[in-house]
Amino acid sequence: MTNDIAKSEVELQDNMPSIKAIEAQESVSVSHAVGYQEYLEAQDITGSDKEMTRLRWKIDLIILPMFLITQALQFMDKTSLNYANLFGYQKALGLKGTQFNYLSAMVYAGYFFGQYPCGWLIGRFPAQKVLSISILLWGFTVLIMTQARTYSGALAVRFFMGMVEAAVTPGLTLMTGFWYTRREIPLRQCIWYSSLGWGGIVGSYISMGISTLPVDFSPERWELIFYVLGGVTCFWAVIIWFFMADAPSNARFLTHRERLLAVKRVAGNQVGIKNTHFDKKQVYAGFLDPKTILLFVSVFAAAIPNGVVNSFSTVIIRDMGFTTTRTTELKSVGDAIQIVSLFIGGIIILNVPNSRLLTSTAANIICTVAAACMAYLPRHNTWGRLVSFWLVNAQSVGFTVSLTTISSNMAGYTHRSLASALVFTAYCWGNFVGPFVVEPKQAPQYESATIGLLVGYSIKTGCHLGLLLYMWLINKRRDQRYGPQDREKSEEEGMRDKTEFENKDFRYVL
């Protein structure tokens, strides 16, 4: 096993360009490295513990809420069909057979086609401007859903919605690494990704409020879902345009000294901040990276259950025998479990060194057991099946750890961006497939859906254990071959946009 791992790393290194080619490209790469000049200027600056704590809190109080609200709005808008479905949306459009399944899934097809151009735009231009335009456009698509009164029209709008939303989660994943240290990234990523739970709760209570309106209310109740969410999203785009910063090196809410200290902080990640130069040699390394392959498989496997939960959670709970209002209340419990599990996971990872993949494995096992209970508990055990359905929301811990692997354990901005794009490709197609494992005729058991959850979470668990073993063996091999890590040299290499394969002093966090 160790020899195979060593061979894979040697192959990646051997296929890198020659030293002369690297030197020819290096000046170009460094000149495009965001924050590199600030890093050099900050070499002789040292912040006190009090000053660094104050700086971290300042970033937390400004950047983190923006990330959280942006992700929450994206989630609510993307899953707005889940709520509209409670108020006669399918009947209003005359949907039949699997048409609603396609409508739910179509946003992920658009997401797939949009993520590559969006990823390029985020790397080339100020990220907050790209995000703001993306948010504004998808807000408009949510509003347009009220006017798309045919299946084909709604399908087209959902596809475009996915395209313009594609900048968000991959962009926020990369930007988290711009602002936070390796130790801080998991908890912060768990915090802003918990927005899925917060968004689910807010969406449930918006639906509860709308459910109290008369059935003949004008506009129709399902239209109100789109009007409310679309309007808020368009307003939020303006906030992001004027108040979010692209990186610490150009943050207006920081003083010049704070910018230097903020850049110096994240230089310790050994992966750099951002580089606007597209590096072809990093593309090759990215496609051969075992970490990317394992993450691709795990995210695809987990995204299938995610597609089920996001698109059909209200229907699955309702078909257990609950009223519409009661369904929205009960769904919010699962969202709360998602929030709590992310916070617990983030705190464990923050305080226990090298516990990321072990924590995600524990969460994956909870999801696997819960899915098995849903599949095999008797039909009359309503509350047992409902509690099991709530517990599958712990799957967000594993997905968040997958994202932190990209931001913390992959160096070289082109390499990191490619890995992010490939992982979100898997995310798109897994979520696209997810709605089709739900067979309405199987209500209320939904046997194929529960089996899909069980298989998906089992594969995800195996991939995360494989990823843990791979990175542990690489660290062990490098310590044996090169000796102890030189952190200062590794930080310099990271800021010069070197990949982890080129930087011999790079060590993975597990």
pLDDT in tens, 427-482: 888 888 887 877 777 766 777 888 888 899 999 999 999 999 999 999 999 999 98
Task: Tell me which residue of 340, 330, 341 sits closest to 364, measured CA to CA.
Answer: 341
Query: Is the Cβ–Cβ distance between 403 and 80 less than 8 Å?
Result: no
Two tokens, residue 327: 């369904």
- The whole-number average pLDDT for the span 324-348 is 88
CB atoms within 10 A of CB 160: 19
Separation CA 260–CA 133 (nearest Å): 29
Two tokens, residue 229: 């969410």
Upper half-sphere CA count for residue 96 (Cβ side, 13 Å):
1
pLDDT in tens, 289-317: 999 999 999 999 988 888 777 767 777 88
Q: Provide the 8-state DSSP code for 510.
A: -
Task: Tell me which residue of 204, 197, 431 sits closest to 334, measured CA to CA.
Answer: 197
- Phi, psi (5° rounding) for residue 97? 55, -125
The alpha carbon of 23 is separated from its chain's Cα centroid by a whole number of angstroms, namely 35
**Token match 């590559």: residue?**
116
CATH classification (class only), 8-16+28-495: mainly alpha
Determine the pLDDT at residue 33: 52
Amino acid identity, residue 251?
A: A
Determine the pLDDT at residue 207: 84
pLDDT in tens, 251-291: 888 888 888 888 878 776 655 555 566 777 888 888 889 99
Separation CA 137–CA 395 (nearest Å): 30
Please give the model's pTM, rounded to 2 decimal places: 0.78
pLDDT category at 139 given cuts 50, 70, 90 is very high
Across 45-83, b (16+ Cβ under 10 Å) vs e yields eebeeeebeebbebbeebbbebbbbbbbbbbbbbbbbbb
Average pLDDT, the chain: 83
CB atoms within 10 A of CB 207: 27
Residue 415 has pLDDT above 60, yes or no: yes
pLDDT category at 29 given cuts 50, 70, 90 is very low
pLDDT category at 75 given cuts 50, 70, 90 is confident
Determine the pLDDT at residue 271: 55
- Phi, psi (5° rounding) for residue 320? -80, -5
- The whole-number average pLDDT for the span 342-346 is 91
pLDDT category at 142 given cuts 50, 70, 90 is very high
The alpha carbon of 58 is separated from its chain's Cα centroid by a whole number of angstroms, namely 23
Determine the pLDDT at residue 300: 93
CB atoms within 10 A of CB 127: 23
pLDDT category at 9 given cuts 50, 70, 90 is low
Task: Tell me which residue of 276, 218, 222 sits closest to 247, measured CA to CA.
Answer: 276
CB atoms within 10 A of CB 109: 19
- The whole-number average pLDDT for the span 53-82 is 90
H or E element at residue 482 = helix 447-482
- The whole-number average pLDDT for the span 153-179 is 88
Determine the pLDDT at residue 58: 92
Determine the pLDDT at residue 41: 65
Determine the pLDDT at residue 21: 42
The length of the chain is: 510
Output 276 or 399, whichever has higher pLDDT: 399
pLDDT category at 136 given cuts 50, 70, 90 is very high
Upper half-sphere CA count for residue 129 (Cβ side, 13 Å):
5
Determine the pLDDT at residue 67: 94
Give the range among 33-47, 184-198, 232-246 with minimum mean pLDDT.
33-47
Strand partners, 33: 275
Sequence-ordered list of residues with C-beta below 8 angstroms from that of 21, at least 6 positions apart, any chain: 281
Separation CA 160–CA 154 (nearest Å): 10
Output 38 or 147, whichever has higher pLDDT: 147
Output 142 or 80, whichever has higher pLDDT: 142
Four-point Cα dihedral 159, 162, 167, 171, nearest 10:
-150
Helix, strand, or coil (residue 15)? coil
Strand partners, 275: 33
